[in-house]
Amino acid sequence: MKIPFVDLKSQYLSIKNEIDEAIAGIINETAFIGGDAVKKFEKEFASHNTITHCISCANGTDSIEMLLKSYSIGIGDEVIVPAISWISTSEAVSAVGAKPIFVDIDEKYYTIDSSKIEEKITKATKAIIPVHLYGQPADMPAIKKIAEKHNLIIIEDCAQSHDAEIDSKKVGLWGHSSSYSFYPGKNLGAYGDAGCMTTNDDKISQTVRMLANHGQLKKHDHVLEGRNSRLDGIQAAILSAKLPHLTKWTAARIKNAEYYNSLLKGSLLILPSVRANAKHVFHLYVVRVKNRQFVMDTLKKHGIDTAIHYPTALPFLPCYSDYHHTSADFPIAAACQTEILSLPLFAELTKPAMEYVAEHIRKVTSQS
C-alpha cells in the first residue's frame, strides 16, 4: 500500500466543482490582487474566529514580522519564542532587528514550557510568541498571566492550529493579535502562499494593513514604508470555498488521531498527549520513537511516508550558532529532536490505511 504524508489531491477532488468555479470566477473578473474576493474572505475568516479584524497578507511569515513591527518591536528588543517551531517564528523576530529568546518546550505537549518563561524575561523583553505546535494549544491561561504581569505583548502563531481551543476559547483570541498561515499543507490551505493576521485592536489592524500594502490605505498616500505582502484574489476565492469545510475536516483529523491512538496503544511509541481542556486539531500526529531513522526507512520500504517536524530545534540551527546555545540549555528540545516522528495524517486518510501504518510501526519498533 502507498501512503503519502499528505494528500492534497483527494481533498481537491472532493470539492472540485467549488474550487474550479472559484478560480474561474476570479479569472473572469481579472481580480488578481486584492478586490472583492479578498475582502470577502477576510470578513468570513474574522467572523469564523469571532474576532473584529482579519488582515490578509502573502504568507504566515510576513504576518508575524508585520505584527511585531506594528508594536514597534525592533533593535534592542527581545522576544520569547519556543525552542521547537518552524523557523518562521524566530526568523520574523530577527527580521525586525530584535533577538529571539528561546524557551524549552514542555516534554508532554511540545509547546513552550510556561514554567520556564519568567526566568528568560529581562528589561528588553517586549513580547511572547506562543506557537500552537502540531495543532496543540500552548498553555495560554498561564502565558497570559505572565504577559500581564510583565506587560508583554502576546502574538499567537496559529499557523498549525486553525480552530484549536483551550478552555473552550479558540486559539488566536488569547493574545493581542495572531498570525495564520494558509500554506497548502496547513489545516486550512490555499493553492499557493497565503496568510493573515487577526486582532480586536483597531490601531494594530490599521497599521498592519498599511504595512502589507506599501504603507498606504488610500492609493499613493504612503503614510509609512511598508512592503508588498498581499493576498491574491485566486487564493482568497479558494480559501472562501474551503472555509465552510474546515469544521468537518478538523473533526476528521481528530477522529483519525484517535484511531491511531487506539491502534498504537501499548506499542513502544510515545503517543501524542492532549492538554486538559484543549481541542488539539492534529495538524500533525507526532510520536516519539527510538531508532527513528531505521523506523522511517523501514516504513518507506512498505510505501509509508513519514516526516520530522523538526529535525533540529531552533536554538541549534546553524543560523543561530552565534548565540552558542547548548543542549544543556534546552534539554527537552534536544531530546525530542532525535525522536519525534510525524505519521501521515489528514482528513481523507482511510481506516485501512491507518491500520496498515500501525501494523508496520508495531512490527518495526518491536525489531529495532
Ligand X SMILES: *Cc1c(COP(=O)(O)O)cnc(C)c1O
Contact predicate 232/32, CB 8 Å = yes
CB of 135 to ligand X, least distance (A): 10
- Whose cell is 500594502? That residue is 213
Residue number, 347 or 361, with CB nearest to ligand X: 347
Binding to ligand X, residues 49-108 (CB under 6 A): 59-61, 85-86, 88-89
Cis peptide before 310 (omega within 30 of 0): yes
Binding to ligand X, residues 41-60 (CB under 6 A): 59-60
Residue number, 272 or 295, with CB nearest to ligand X: 272
Binds ligand X by CB under 6 A, chosen from 131, 166, 340, 358: 131
Site string for ligand X, 177-216 (x = CB under 6 A): ----x-x---------x-x---------------------
Residue number, 160 or 207, with CB nearest to ligand X: 160
- Runs of H (alpha helix) within the chain: 8-14, 16-29, 36-48, 60-70, 88-95, 140-150, 202-211, 233-242, 246-264, 292-301, 331-336, 351-367
Residue number, 272 or 365, with CB nearest to ligand X: 272
User: Would you say the C-alpha torsion 229, 231, 232, 238 has a positive or negative sign?
Assistant: positive
CB of 48 to ligand X, least distance (A): 18
CB of 157 to ligand X, least distance (A): 5
Contact predicate 103/117, CB 8 Å = yes
153-157 and 125-128 strand pairing: parallel
Residue 144's closest CA among 122, 108, 112? 112
Amino acid at 63: S
Regarding 334 and contact with ligand X (CB under 6 A), the answer is no
CB of 206 to ligand X, least distance (A): 23
CB of 184 to ligand X, least distance (A): 9
99-103 and 78-82 strand pairing: parallel
C-alpha cell at 71: 508594536
Amino acid at 39: K
Question: What phi and psi values does residue 189 have, to the nearest 5 degrees?
Answer: -120, 140
CB of 148 to ligand X, least distance (A): 24
Site string for ligand X, 7-46 (x = CB under 6 A): ----------------------------------------
Site string for ligand X, 132-161 (x = CB under 6 A): -------------------------x-xx-
Under the phi-then-psi rule, with left for phi > 0, alpha for psi from -120 to 50, and beta for the rest, what region is 61? alpha
CB of 33 to ligand X, least distance (A): 17
C-alpha cell at 75: 533593535
Residues that bind ligand X (CB under 6 A): 59-61, 85-86, 88-89, 131, 157, 159-160, 181, 183, 193, 195
